[in-house]
Chain A
Amino acid sequence: MSEVLVYADHANGKVAKSTFELLTLARRIGTPVAVVLNAGDSASQVAAALAEYGAETVLTADDSVYSDYLVAPAAELLASLVDSRSPAAVLLSSSFEGKEIAGRLSVKTDSGVITDAVDIDSDLVATQSVFAGGYTVRGKVTQGTPILTVKPNSVAPEASAAAGAVEAVSAEISDAAKTAKVVSTEDKPQTGRPNLTEAAIVVSGGRGTGGDFGPVETLADSLGAAVGASRAAVDAGWYPHANQVGQTGKTVSPQLYVAAGISGAIQHRAGMQTSKTIVAINKDDEAPIFELVDFGVVGDLFQVLPQATEAINSHK
């Protein structure tokens, strides 16, 4: 069976859930081979986690060049692996980084690239959800080595133990790839809430909060949910951009999405339309968000959210 290269995302020895999703998809196509950059001392821990989800081989490359410069060196390494191992496909997560590695790799290998897949068949047919979720497109790469990026949270990660044999690899990185220098990095404060794109439940607030995200956060915490925001709320400076849901923010696909004080503009829908269950609280009974909901409450979020929080806490 041919290999499928999976570009692994990891931090502090922890593999991202989205990478387990990629491995789950890769197993349908061939033998998953994970590529791990700069795991350093945590390589064995990372490899063990990858093996648990089906990585037959774990290729590790340690070189500061991968963190000193934006994406180009990682793309060169992958290009050299595509060249030497002739995989059936390369899978990456649909993050900024994943998409950019995919884009560069497609030029280097003159291959087609499909981004934002929500599913991939064993014959490499990718499913995408386009135009704010209005259409489903199935397509495939017809030239070169298929390069596919997958939206996080699109498939359920399934464990399936494999060997996870660690093999160190390296590549000669050209000077051309060492041109976008990372001069400094500032970590953002962490909230302790679940990661927005991975969370099973997301509670989002919009302009209707008037800047007070308190009721949104307390409801989220009672549900163990991540907090999202509309762009109007982000633009007003009420909530960080990293929490924005929508076309130019995150795409989420949780079990439950709660929209409070959000009108439901097409660009917002683009980021949440595929959620399993959608609930909205809005003062305006004609707000477009109500076209999407499984359950809607026409009312003031400052009344409805605290009451719901109380009911959930007493339900526990």
Chain B
Amino acid sequence: MRIAVFVKYVPDAAGDRSFTDDNTVDRSVDGLLSELDEYAVEEALSIADDADDAEVIAVTVGPDDAVDAVRKALQMGADSGVHVVDDSLAASDALGTSKVLAATVRKIEEEEGPVDLVVTGMASTDGSMSVVPVQVAELLGRPAATFASEVSVDGQTVKIRRDGDTASQHIEVTLPALVSVTDQINEPRYPSFKGIMAAKKKPLEEYELADLGLSADVAGTAGATTEVLEVTARPPRSAGEIITDDGDGGTKLVEFLAGQKLV
């Protein structure tokens, strides 16, 4: 079984995330593998562990630094990596990125053989759109079982549990398929020292758009289907009143609420 897992390199949420002058996300700051993709890597690895003969390929689309996302996946245990990097990819939107990812899956199939399962996170931690998984599935014409809090693979059948607000659904798809997973699904492993050392020797393929048979305007600024007009930093909330409870904190709280006409 061949599993491709998508990994995105994102600005660190704990750092200062901002925008550049051309209204795109500032990617010069410290970045890392999107934490929500760690769940995808973990799930891909544990599915591979349970399968007889399986390999996990970590795929990223992004600038030079984005290779760090693939490296982290390799350190966690993925077998090989693919990094799609091309100057014309800068400022790609979701649809452009999905077209590139779908073409990358096809390229892997050409080079290595069929990709049975694509695993992704539920959203990126920067864009938070949650549309890339279904867009890729739609482009590849394969079933998508998404927002999984539980996945099991049995032969050619993949079963997932999808938790909604008022109900949980059990979904079944047949391979080849795509699965996206939530942060409820597992505890991602930390790379071990051995894993970190081993990752250095693992194969890492680099592709440009032309290698995937794509023209420069499939994504990036030239292929953009959306445009950002304006970005403004939200004014910090004005400092509120903070009191220390001296036995009447609850009463004071309600006095505040009453003053705001909230009770």
Contact = CB atoms under 8 A, between A and B. Distances in A.
A139 B226 contact: yes
B254 A185 contact: no
A11 interface: yes
B153 interface: no
Given A112-B226, A182-B171, A106 B250 contact: no
A306 interface: yes
B160 to A, nearest CB: 9
Given A99-B131, A103-B135, A294-B241, A311 B251 contact: yes
A104 to B, nearest CB: 5
Contacts, number: 264
B contacts with A: majority SS: mixed
Interface in A88-130: 96, 99-100, 102-104, 106-108, 110-116, 125, 129-130
- What class of interface size applies to chain B in its complex with A? 35 or more
Contact of A134 (B139, B183, B233, B250): B233
Contact of B167 (A110, A129, A186, A306): A186
A248 B124 CA distance: 10
Interface of B: 13-14, 17-19, 23, 36, 93-95, 98, 122-123, 125-126, 128-135, 138-139, 141-147, 149, 159, 162-174, 177, 182-184, 224-234, 237, 240-245, 247-254, 256-258, 260, 262-263
Given A71-B134, A116-B128, A290-B242, 16 more contacts: A11-B166, A75-B138, A103-B132, A103-B134, A104-B134, A108-B138, A131-B126, A142-B226, A184-B169, A186-B168, A190-B166, A248-B36, A296-B240, A307-B248, A312-B263, A315-B258
Interface of A: 11, 70-72, 75, 96, 99-100, 102-104, 106-108, 110-116, 125, 129-144, 176, 179-188, 190, 195-196, 201, 223, 231, 241-242, 247-248, 255-256, 266-267, 277-279, 281, 285, 290-300, 303-312, 315
